Amino acid sequence: MVVVAALVPACAAAWLVWDATSGPDDPGRNGDLPQNVRPHRSAAASAPSSAAPSSGAAKPLAGKVVVLDPGHNAQNSRHTSEINRLVDIGTARKECDTTGTATNAGYAEAVFTLDVSRRARALLEARGATVRLTYDGDRAYGPCIDERARIGNKAKADAVVSVHGDGSAAGNRGFHVILPAPVHRGIADTRTISGPSKLLGTALKRHFAAETGTRPSNYIGGGTGLDVRRDLGGLNLSTRPKVLIECGNMRDPKDAVLMTSPAWRQRAAEGIADGISAFLEDRE
């Protein structure tokens, strides 16, 4: 979708948003992608789509509130005492936050997640949504996982997506979406959001695969691209439909090539934005 040859009028708005968020030395500005990522025509490029409305069209996500939760914080390693503080997640007590992972070359997960979240925000706002980030490079550390959940709850978000990169062993490749298990313990109660969250996660999985050209995880989820967990505070404490996406494994050299590519990160943002859009529009 971001390769120059694949541009058509239906996705011109998304291109302009991406071009505005790329720097002059960004290789993605020239449509460059790693050689193993094939150009493709997405659904938005092959047919009229609400993903990129024309300037005169009604914005399909007007009135919707989306919260994007970029995982970790690049400054967390300087605040170990603060992020190691335990917080209540209903099923257990866990660290406030962690430092996250990085590629073997040192590209940090926190840098990746913030970049992708900002790109997705621009795309969703172009479709009319009100978008809030739990963290926008404006904090010394955190926020803690319980606060991340509260931000989405307080915003009365129609959808919340936490953006991450995994730190598994080399050879483990692909993305997966984590869904909240039905939990009713302590301060956690996800019983009313587990169903809608599954719909959100399924839409996100479908569109992320289509936009990025990457496969679901070969090491989690049995090839489905979906995983259900009850031990993640950001999901346990949410009262709004919420999922977490591990966009790839940053410790695998092949996935790392993708995740360090600005053009691929734009595709990742498009997949996230399209998945959220599909979920919200289906619920109308």
Half-sphere exposure of 178 (CA within 13 A, CB side): 20
Amino acid of residue 228: V
194 close to 201: Cβ distance less than 8 angstroms: no
Give the pairing of strands 130-133 and 65-70.
parallel
Amino acid of residue 278: A
Other Cβ atoms within 10 Å of 124 Cβ, number: 26
The H or E element spanning position 226 is: strand 226-229
Active-site option among 147, 211, 246, 270: 246
Name residues whose C-beta falls within 8 Å of residue 40's C-beta, 6 or more positions apart in sequence: 1, 6, 210, 213
Closest to 237 in 3D by CA, of 146, 155, 159, 135? 146
The reply to whether 211 belongs to the active site is no
Catalytically active residues, by annotation: 246
